[in-house]
Amino acid sequence: MPISQRYPVRDSSRKAGSPLFSLHDSLCPVVSTTQNFDSLLVSPGHVSRIRRDNYYLTASSMLRSHTSAHQAELIRLGLDAFLLAGDVYRRDAIDPTHYPVFHQMEGVRLFSKEEVGLLCGFHSALSSIFS
């Protein structure tokens, strides 16, 4: 069986109807420091903000250091289930395990209080079965 047929992503792409998650893979890599840090509650003195580790374009704009920089804006647009994919940029020294540009993908799913309650109940039921 070809490797492309072994993965469930291929099967889910054939199903009719709308996808469970929207995919965002062409968002601009230039973001504000507010998007990259403040909207994610990264404190002003946090080590991840250091200039030598990031690609700052101005004092308030930079190349994103993670795709999470787009989470708040997509949530404000009303999305509650989405995937983010894109290049991210960090000033890493090039070696066998590091490169300054790499790909990152993440998923976000927001749940209502009712859904969280159902998930907690499901988790408890599974825990009692497998304990």
Domains plus CATH for the chain?
A: 22-130 (3.30.930.10)
Q: Please write the tens of the pLDDT for every residue from 72-127.
A: 999 999 999 999 999 999 998 888 988 889 999 999 999 998 888 888 887 888 88
* Contact present, 61 and 37 (Cβ < 8 Å): no
Collapsing DSSP to helix, strand or coil, 47 comes out as helix
| Per-residue pLDDT, 9 | 45
Q: Tell me the pTM.
A: 0.74
Q: Is the dihedral of CA 93, 94, 96, 98 positive or negative?
A: positive
Please check the confidence at residue 69 and state whether its pLDDT lies above 60: yes
Give 9-41 as a DSSP string: HHHHHTSSS--SSEEE----SEEEHHHHTGGGT
